[in-house]
């Protein structure tokens, strides 16, 4: 008999483990090799001012945030020194705690209290001014004035108070002694919250971190895999950056790193999924370098196809980011497709975009798509587009206009393909300017928003994709909240026989124009959606 929900028990042994620890003890765990700093893309970036602000917070007993650790036996490459001090080696097969969040803070503590370097201008050459009660960077290795106490004296009480004895000769010795005692007590007693993720697979660590650290720099699977695959001769982040740099000239350098990682995984002999990506840790650096070359070549060909065959100006205009994963895999396996194959690839691109297929791309889809690419390369011309449904005109009626959504990107591209002309001036609208990422100034309602709102039209219907055209801001201001039947008469008087061409360049058919002349919004939407859908069908080969 199946257990009821009340019968099941949660496995609390693997729940995140919170604790409150003295900050000195946490910092010491880094030097002893119990807490490791994995080689994520997180070099120390804090300024000297930020380091001093952290220490000021500690001295004033202000909270400085929690620390996130991941206890694991996973082998990730990690830093072997901090603040010129060597980190102790860990025991073989001994679970260690990887520092996921808090590196800048703990490094600032470690660096200051354990520094024993020889560079006088080091960021870790820090002292506390007992007289003015503030932290400062020193610029000499000589002993500072009596009223200044180096922070690397703090770990050793005998050394600290031995140095503190010097203030007895100062006229304000009592005040200086009190300030020094307060600093020592605050540092020794200062506690920080730590949360440790226990016995958790790497695939689960990144999303947990991103949720906890939503306001900070997100940790991604790319960062984790960099640490898992790093060697003196191979750096995954540098590899991905080199691939993106190779396509920068065509405006596609902003492709998400995780997208490239999926392609990299496939080029190495795996798949697109995170499970396959995790297997990259098993490869030699020589094998990873071969995968890099294959991925870079595939991306060059794919981007050339996007910009030349499809007239897509940049990565920001690709409806779904993961389309590039499948597209690059196609060109990795089939770098020189025939004319009919190129046509089928074009159809696949627009079909997968218009159908919304990549909106729910899961592990099963990834595997089936990779298999379909193989069949396509072997001669099955219908393999790519199998199962991609035509949503018809209704999608253009129900979807709202937001420039960062897939169908809004499709609409903006189709409009650009038609070289739209301004409704009132007859001037060509600059499609490059209109297609600029997040540029909403060139997109306006054909039926003005205020006009429709005054008639009681629902806001979702007002903002339907089928109601948007490219229009200059100047003409939009002239139209304001006027009815289409009003401003279109003005347009006809201004443009004469050219009005029809102007309307068609904005994907407005004769039937849609007639509906607008009668201020018939539902009929206009229906006719405009039909025209947009027909254009999509043409591009998609439907």
**pLDDT tens digit string along 131-187?**
999 999 999 999 999 999 999 999 999 999 999 999 999 999 999 999 999 999 999
Q: What share of the chain has pLDDT > 90, as a percent? A: 67
pLDDT score at 429: 81
Give the confidence band of 7 by pLDDT, cuts at 50, 70, 90: very low
- The region of weakest confidence among 114-123, 218-227, 367-376, 388-397 is 218-227
pLDDT score at 13: 52
Give the confidence band of 42 by pLDDT, cuts at 50, 70, 90: low
Residues 188-197, mean pLDDT to the nearest whole number: 92
pLDDT score at 2: 41
Pick the residue with more confidence: 312 or 432? 312
Question: Cα-flanking dihedrals φ and ψ of residue 171, to 5°?
Answer: -65, -30
**pLDDT tens digit string along 484-532?**
999 999 999 999 999 999 999 999 999 999 999 999 999 999 999 999 9
pLDDT score at 440: 59
Cα-Cα-Cα-Cα torsion 337, 340, 341, 346, nearest 10 degrees, comes to 120
CA atoms of 213 and 405, how far apart (whole Å): 25
Would you list the domain boundaries of the chain?
14-202, 232-377, 394-540
Q: Which long-range contacts (CB under 8 A, 24 or more apart) does 438-444 make?
A: 438/403, 438/404, 439/403, 440/403, 441/473, 442/470, 442/471, 442/472, 442/473, 443/401, 443/403, 443/412, 443/468, 443/469, 443/470, 443/471, 444/468, 444/469, 444/470, 444/471, 444/476, 444/479
Residues 76-86, mean pLDDT to the nearest whole number: 70
* Neighbour count for residue 205 (Cβ, 10 Å): 21
Give the confidence band of 385 by pLDDT, cuts at 50, 70, 90: very high
pLDDT score at 152: 93
pLDDT score at 40: 61
CA atoms of 219 and 258, how far apart (whole Å): 11
Question: Is the model's pLDDT at 92 over the cut of 50?
Answer: yes
- Mean pLDDT for the chain overall: 88
CA atoms of 526 and 226, how far apart (whole Å): 51
Task: Decide if 438 contacts 404 (C-beta within 8 A).
Answer: yes
Cα-Cα-Cα-Cα torsion 459, 461, 463, 464, nearest 10 degrees, comes to 160
Residues 476-485, mean pLDDT to the nearest whole number: 92
Pick the residue with more confidence: 358 or 87? 358
Task: Decide if 472 contacts 427 (C-beta within 8 A).
Answer: yes
Residues 221-234, mean pLDDT to the nearest whole number: 84
pLDDT score at 369: 97
């Amino acid at each position: 008999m199946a257990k009821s929900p009340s019968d099941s028990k949660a496995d609390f042994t693997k729940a995140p483990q919170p604790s409150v620890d003295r900050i000195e003890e946490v910092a010491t765990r880094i030097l002893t090799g119990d807490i490791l700093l994995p080689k994520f893309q997180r070099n120390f970036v804090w300024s000297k001012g930020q380091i001093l602000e952290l220490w000021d917070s500690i001295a004033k007993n202000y909270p400085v945030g929690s620390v996130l650790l991941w206890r694991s036996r996973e082998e990730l490459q990690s830093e072997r020194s901090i603040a010129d001090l060597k980190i102790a080696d860990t025991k073989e097969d001994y679970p260690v705690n990887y520092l996921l969040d808090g590196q800048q803070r703990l490094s600032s503590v470690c660096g200051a209290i354990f520094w024993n370097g020889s560079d006088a201008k080091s960021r870790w050459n820090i002292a506390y001014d007992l007289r003015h009660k503030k932290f400062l960077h020193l610029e000499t290795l000589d002993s500072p004035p009596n009223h200044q106490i180096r922070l690397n004296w703090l770990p050793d009480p005998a050394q600290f108070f031995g140095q503190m004895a010097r203030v007895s000769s100062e006229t304000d010795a009592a005040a200086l002694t009190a300030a020094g005692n307060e600093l020592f007590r605050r540092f020794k007693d200062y506690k920080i919250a730590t949360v440790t993720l226990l016995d958790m697979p790497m695939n689960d660590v990144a999303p947990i971190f991103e949720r906890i650290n939503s306001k900070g720099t997100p940790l991604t699977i790319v960062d984790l895999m960099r640490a898992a695959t790093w060697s003196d001769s191979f750096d995954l982040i540098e590899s991905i950056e080199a691939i993106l740099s190779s396509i920068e000239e065509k405006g596609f350098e902003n492709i998400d790193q995780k997208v490239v990682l999926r392609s990299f995984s496939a080029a190495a002999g795996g798949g697109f999924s995170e499970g396959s990506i995790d297997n990259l840790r098993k490869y030699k650096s020589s094998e990873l370098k071969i995968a890099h070359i294959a991925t870079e070549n595939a991306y060059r060909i794919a981007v050339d196809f996007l910009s030349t065959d499809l007239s897509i100006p940049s990565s920001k205009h690709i409806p779904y980011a993961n389309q590039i994963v499948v597209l690059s895999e196609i060109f990795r396996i089939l770098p020189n497709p025939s004319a009919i194959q190129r046509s089928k690839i074009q159809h696949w691109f627009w079909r997968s975009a218009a159908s919304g297929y990549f909106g729910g791309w899961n592990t099963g889809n990834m595997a089936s798509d990779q298999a379909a690419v193989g069949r396509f390369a072997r001669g099955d011309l219908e393999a790519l587009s199998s199962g991609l449904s035509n949503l018809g005109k209704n999608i253009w009626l129900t979807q709202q206009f937001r420039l960062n959504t897939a169908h809004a990107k499709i609409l903006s591209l189709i409009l650009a393909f038609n070289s739209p002309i301004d409704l009132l001036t007859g001037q060509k609208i600059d499609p490059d300017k209109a297609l600029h990422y997040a540029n909403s100034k060139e997109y306006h309602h054909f039926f003005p928003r205020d006009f429709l709102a005054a008639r009681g039209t629902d806001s979702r219907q007002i903002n339907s994709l089928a109601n948007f055209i490219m229009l200059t801001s100047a003409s939009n201001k002239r139209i304001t909240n006027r009815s289409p039947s009003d401003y279109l008469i003005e347009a006809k008087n201004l443009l004469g026989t050219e009005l029809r061409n102007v309307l068609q360049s904005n994907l407005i058919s004769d039937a849609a124009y007639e509906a607008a002349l009668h201020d018939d919004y539902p009929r206009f939407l229906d006719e405009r959606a039909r025209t947009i859908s027909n254009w999509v069908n043409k591009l998609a080969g439907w």
